Amino acid sequence: MTRVLLTGFEPFGGESVNPSWQAAELVAAAPPDGLAVTAVQLPCVFGESLTALRSAVERVRPELVVCLGQAGGRTGVTVERVAINVDDARIPDNAGAQPIDEPVVPGGPAAYFSSLPVKACVAAMRGAGVPTALSNTAGTFVCNHVAYGLGHLLATELPGVRGGFVHVPWAPSQVPDGNAAALPAELVATGIRALLAVAAETTTDIRVTEGATH
């Protein structure tokens, strides 16, 4: 069995749910064959989220780590290609912190690329019928903070472990007026299961166009 750590976030920004955690729980309850998935909820707090992530990694000892986060307004599940070394919060985190232009890791490299086969993951989720795209920005809030912190942890302490970050759109309950894109947690979970299955088996990404002009 391949050990997988799958994280989601607690609600933030006044929301009562976070679809990233909803999806993580569903996947852990019914994981893909051959994978032992442990779901852990991270606080939406700068610093504390990375402490919780490290603790989970030490406890689970995963071979694969996938962190999920909410990206309200996106139309599908988006696999992040890169995380950057900056915290620049448009809104406060759940502890009231609002860092501006601060490094995630002082002295760390400018960015870390995901060590997931990101394009193969996108293809797998599309094949499962889930709206999906490759993303080239994880933002500069706590999601990017965790994505970069994970990249740094894996690169500096756990080079044999692979991992990356995936954003999910709002849940339907968060947009009751229907004026924004949303996906049911069950459909998101279907996509994440497909992603985990291919990520566990694939170390060399496929070569297809997934770029953007802006």
Tell me phi and psi for residue 82, to 5 degrees: -150, 150
Nearest to 118 by CA among 3, 202, 32: 202
Q: Give me 158's structure tokens.
A: 């756990």
Angle between helices 118-127 and 185-201 (to 10 degrees): 130
State yes or no: is 167 an active-site residue: yes
Show Cβ contacts of residue 5 under 8 Å, excluding neighbours closer than 6 positions. Answer: 38, 40, 56, 57, 60, 62, 64, 65, 66, 163
Q: 44 an active-site residue?
A: no
Among 80, 121, 145, 152, the one annotated catalytic: 80
> String of b and e for 101-111 (b: at least 16 CB within 10 Å)?
eeebbeebeee
Q: Which residues are catalytic?
A: 80, 143, 167
